[in-house]
Amino acid sequence: AQTVTQSQPEMSVQEAETVTLSCTYDTSENNYYLFWYKQPPSRQMILVIRQEAYKQQNATENRFSVNFQKAAKSFSLKISDSQLGDTAMYFCAFMNRYSGGSNYKLTFGKGTLLTVNP
């Protein structure tokens, strides 16, 4: 079974600054996906960024980038030029890569509450 650990229950950052959220995971699989989801007070989980484990290049999406360290099983999210609208819960999640059945099940961490201060 996979586990995902987010060791920072809460973090805060000043607007326009950079913040990094940590995530570690445990799996015996070699091929998988990793995700960061954002959950604002509206409750809808919004996909922020996705990483395929077999790709060595770190994923980037505008102001969001990841530092994927496969050997260390670490997957941190960096948010640059933080904006007030980035305030939300952020969840790290794991999914097996092989198709079919509940291999598509996501395993989530407990989340990090990020507050961006003006």
Partner 1 sequence: GAGVSQSPRYKVAKRGQDVALRCDPISGHVSLFWYQQALGQGPEFLTYFQNEAQLDKSGLPSDRFFAERPEGSVSTLKIQRTQQEDSAVYLCASSSGGGEGYTFGSGTRLTVV
* Segment interacting with partner 1, rule: CB under 8 A, options 12-20, 55-63, 71-79, 94-102: 94-102
Q: How far is the CB of 97 from partner 1 (least distance, A)?
A: 6
Q: Given candidates 17, 18, 69, 105, which one binds partner 1 under the rule CB under 8 A?
A: 105
- Residue number, 16 or 47, with CB nearest to partner 1: 47
Is 94 an interacting residue with respect to partner 1 (CB under 8 A)?
no
What is the rounded distance in angstroms from the CA atom of residue 39 to the CA atom of residue 88? 6
- The number of beta carbons lying within 10 Å of the beta carbon of residue 29 is 13
Place of tokens 């996979």: 2
- The number of beta carbons lying within 10 Å of the beta carbon of residue 92 is 27
Is 11 an interacting residue with respect to partner 1 (CB under 8 A)?
no
Q: Taking a C-beta distance cutoff of 8 angstroms, is the pair 82, 15 a contact?
A: yes
Is 2 an interacting residue with respect to partner 1 (CB under 8 A)?
no
Q: Given candidates 35, 68, 79, 114, which one binds partner 1 under the rule CB under 8 A?
A: 35
Residues in the chain: 118
What is the rounded distance in angstroms from the CA atom of residue 106 to the CA atom of residue 118? 34
Q: Which positions lie near partner 1, rule CB under 8 A?
A: 4, 33, 35, 37, 42-47, 50, 52, 91, 93, 95, 97, 99, 101-102, 104-111
